[in-house]
Structure 1
Amino acid sequence: MIQAVYIILKNSVLQFSGLFGVLFISGLVLTFISRWTNNIFRQFVLPKFGLYVFGVIGVPLHEFCHALFAKIFFHEIGSIKWFDPKGKGGSYGTVVHHYNDRNIYHRIGLFFIGMGPVLLAPAFLFLIYTLLLPHPVAFSLQLNDLGYLANAFSKSLLGAGNWSSFGFYVFLYLAVCLTSQMELSPEDFQIARGGILPIFVVLVLINTLSYTFSWGVHGKFVNALNIGIAWWGAFIAMAIFISLVNFVLCLILFNLINKICGKDAINPFQE
């Protein structure tokens, strides 16, 4: 009996850590880079420049991610504000949703709703990458090596043929729009936290049934998880790379323009 409990809990913890630990870490990294980039925009001589150039696409995509998961988990959406350039506290869009606290499916959805932009950003990047780059890496369920995928994507992004492709520049613009608005608010993390315990309980239940009836769910789940994390990780790495490049270029260029206009130097770490 003790061994059974140990195996069930071990499998559940490993699955939970592999899936959600990566999500939280990458979510925090993208949130901080996006926050610092938006601080640059706000201290620029034209404080709304970054918002209107990149946020007009990035903010609605951010809110769409929240709204899509709210629909998937059957939350009632009260209202959606897709883009409000006059929003207070750096919040330029909102999704108001309601749910039944006693419904475990609704509760599980809280995690996905709160983390929605981080979860779906790789999917959006994959879509525009596949459609707009001249030589994208083809998706394959046989590829689950994160290092190999990251190297392949790097080569396809930095290939000489991209510089003469109009689609490549459209990809860069859309990617910057997306990654510059990846910041998760404290409210987003608070919402996501509400779904963690119900998800862990469901994992324990699945592993208990799997152990009892010899379903072998753990092996299949780990295999699918490895493939998903490899591809998701490769595109989240691409999002982080693009975010960092955009952050550095904006910091240098906007500081130069501010200096020419006699404005104060930009400190991206100052709210």
Structure 2
Amino acid sequence: MMRTILNVLWQLGLWLIVIPGILGIILVAISRANKRLVAMQNGLWGMILLGGIGVILHELSHLILALLFGHHIDRVALLHIPDRNDPSDNCLGYVNHSFNDHNLYQRCGNFFIGIAPVLGCTLAMTLLTRTLAPQVYNYCLQLFLPTMAPLPVSAGSKWQLIVWLILMVNIAVGGFDLSSADLQNSAHGVTALLLILLGLAAILAWLSNPLMVGQWLSAHLIIAYWALILAIVFNLILWLFLHLIVRR
């Protein structure tokens, strides 16, 4: 029985943590490079103009997950303009929250609250592409998931594509980069998350078998992995474009 539990735990860890974790690390690294290139070229106001919407989405993702996991919200600034006269004031937004350390659910929530911008911004990019650039959405869908049925599309306007591009650049520049505080917050929830996964593995091992668990997770999470890959590809294209501009 213990071996079955460990096999199920491995399937849960692989599909819920390892694969999305690797994709998330790649995505955050490229986004951080984009943010650095924009700051080098355009300074603070360039960051706000080219990444302000992304910053708002970043903080909004933290806020929504903090509320979902029952945390108390202390202070919020979805977009903050740093004081030039205060060298320590260098953040563009923040969500300060507190939680009950004896509540397993709230402790586990720290993990998801810390990485919330990766989830929220990926979802926003996917929905924006589906809504404003359905041809691009269908092309990417067929490229990575050829078995998925494409969306029925009509010819979109040029303005739709321009709005989509502006929003995508904003999210790519200002949305995905996780601060050291975000990562520390996630680290506080790792132990609680592992305890919950262990309990879930024990239940699933009794109800099913590891192979079926893995097949079910892969079938239902593949679209989420596709969305992360879509975000990585767009961030990578933007990085190449920004790199060419900075080198000129």
Shorter-normalised TM-score: what interval? 0.7 to 0.9
1:168 is matched with: 161
1:91 is matched with: 91
User: 2:89 & 2:56 partners in 1: Cα distance?
Assistant: 17
CA offset at residue 90 of structure 1?
Answer: 5.3
1:56 is matched with: 52
**Contact 2:114 2:183 (C-alpha < 8 Å) held by counterparts:** yes
Distance verdict in 2 for CA 1:149–1:13, change over 3 Å: same
User: Are 2:188 and 1:178 aligned?
Assistant: no
1:27 is matched with: 24
User: 1:146 & 1:61 partners in 2: Cα distance?
Assistant: 28
User: Are 2:37 and 1:40 aligned?
Assistant: yes
**Contact 2:132 2:160 (C-alpha < 8 Å) held by counterparts:** yes
2:197 is matched with: 203
1:72 is matched with: 68
**Contact 2:57 2:120 (C-alpha < 8 Å) held by counterparts:** no
1:246 is matched with: 238
User: 1:91 & 1:149 partners in 2: Cα distance?
Assistant: 42
1:188 is matched with: 182
**Contact 1:146 1:231 (C-alpha < 8 Å) held by counterparts:** no
User: 1:6 & 1:90 partners in 2: Cα distance?
Assistant: 50
Amino acid at match of 2:201: N
User: 1:126 & 1:195 partners in 2: Cα distance?
Assistant: 27
Q: Secondary structure at the match of 1:97?
A: strand
**Contact 1:77 1:98 (C-alpha < 8 Å) held by counterparts:** yes
CA offset at residue 150 of structure 1?
Answer: 10
CA offset at residue 252 of structure 1?
Answer: 1.6
1:265 is matched with: none
Q: Secondary structure at the match of 1:84?
A: coil
* TM-score between the two structures when normalised by the length of structure 1: 0.77
2:217 is matched with: 225
1:115 is matched with: 115
Amino acid at match of 1:47: G
**Contact 2:82 2:89 (C-alpha < 8 Å) held by counterparts:** no
**Contact 1:115 1:189 (C-alpha < 8 Å) held by counterparts:** yes
1:81 is matched with: 77
Q: Secondary structure at the match of 2:26?
A: helix
Amino acid at match of 1:232: A
| Structure number with bigger Rg | 1
Root-mean-square deviation (CA), in Å?
A: 3.0
Gaps of 5+ in 2: none
Count of paired positions: 239
Percent identity at matched positions?
25
CA offset at residue 197 of structure 1?
Answer: 2.2
2:103 is matched with: 103
User: 1:117 & 1:149 partners in 2: Cα distance?
Assistant: 28
Gaps of 5+ in 1: 257-271
User: 2:29 & 2:205 partners in 1: Cα distance?
Assistant: 41
User: 1:165 & 1:217 partners in 2: Cα distance?
Assistant: 51
Distance verdict in 2 for CA 1:96–1:247, change over 3 Å: same
CA offset at residue 223 of structure 1?
Answer: 4.3
Q: Secondary structure at the match of 2:9?
A: helix
**Contact 1:146 1:233 (C-alpha < 8 Å) held by counterparts:** no
